[in-house]
Structures are given as C-alpha cells and as structure tokens.
Amino acid sequence: MSDVETADKPGFIPPREPLYDWGLRVTVQEDLFNDGSHPQVPDGALLAPMGTPGTIVRVGRTEEGSLPVYLVEFPGGTVVGCLEEEIAPADGSRRGVPGVM
C-alpha cells in the first residue's frame, strides 16, 4: 500500500517528525522511573533524576508509530527511552516545531 493510499484512510494520523536528532546532549526535565523496561532494576526505581545530562543515541517511535521516542544514554551507561516532554537540549536552545524550519 502506498503512502498516498494510507494517508487517504479515515482516522489515519501521520507520524510526527522528531524534534531532536541523535548525538544531541540533553537534560532530563523530570525524574525518570523504571516502568518495567529495565528488568535488572526494581519497578518504580529512579533511573535518572531531573537535571541529569545525557546524549540521544537513537531515535525511534512508539509502538503505535505516531510519537518519537529517544533512547538517551546517561552517565554510567544507563539507556532510557524518553518522550520529548521528558528531555530538553542541554545548551538551553529552544525546541523546534515539527514541520517548521
């Protein structure tokens, strides 16, 4: 099925472009807790406190495919999947707006 055919389907929401790219230094905007995705750490354990610096090492999408998810590596090698509202550029630059240059 082509992109044109998919886009014409009722209820289709196209995936949103990511605001950030891999390699960007970021800081955590809120405490990040284990949601069960880190089996070696107890559920609910703090993975990265607010203000922790990290680097985006990969950009993916949610299972539904519409929202970007950023794999961020923090000091000590912990890698956590983050949504855009959970991170911000470490240099304080403004966030981009998807689709706007």
What per-residue confidence (pLDDT) applies to 101? 44
Which domains are seen in the chain, by residue range?
16-89 (2.30.30.50)
66: confidence class by pLDDT, cuts 50, 70, 90: confident
pTM of the model: 0.78
In Å, how far from its chain's centre is CA 75?
17
pLDDT in tens, 46-57: 999 999 999 999
Written as one string, the DSSP assignment of 24-74 is: -EEEESS-EE--SS-TTS-TT-EEE-TT-EEEEEEEEE-TTSSSEEEEEE-
Paired strand residues for 32:
48
